Amino acid sequence: MSLTAKDKAVVRAFWAKVSGKAQDVGCDALSRMLVVYPQTKTYFSHWPDLSPGLPRSGSMVTIKIDDLKAGLLTLSELHAFQLCIDPANFKILSHNILVVLAILFPADFTPEVHVSVDKFLAALALALAEKY
């Protein structure tokens, strides 16, 4: 399932609305993943406290949306060769991101947005798993 030009436009437009809360989305999605899928805590043992309020980091991946494989090559290599993250976790995190987006932005997270963002996150997970 590839991203169409319309999907990319929908993702960019939605991201423009929610990007101010990107760190909140990431933190909430990661916290949710660690609670619902406790086996994923293995990859975060370097964090002494895995409770809500985790370290926050944002990413402007949407600017790489036209070529995710090339744009995320360094991250893919990092996850595959240094961090040794199971790529199945990318799908788990993607699902949690969708849940948080739906909770935080109910009016903007329309069915059309849901489909396009889901496709984008699937493409993102695939690009991150490229070096496995």
Domain of residue 65: give its range.
Answer: 5-128
pLDDT at 50: 46
Token pair, residue 130, equals: 């490229």
pLDDT of residue 42: 67
Q: What is the CATH number of the domain that holds 103?
A: 1.10.490.10
Lowest mean pLDDT among 9-13, 25-29, 73-77, 100-104: 73-77
pLDDT digits (tens, 9 = 90+) for 70-97: 655 565 555 454 555 666 777 888 899 9
Q: Cα(18)–Cα(22) distance, rounded to whole angstroms?
A: 7
CA separation for the pair 11, 57 (Å, rounded): 20
- Total domain count for the chain? 1
pLDDT by residue (tens digit) across 123-132? 888 877 766 6
- pTM assigned to the model: 0.70
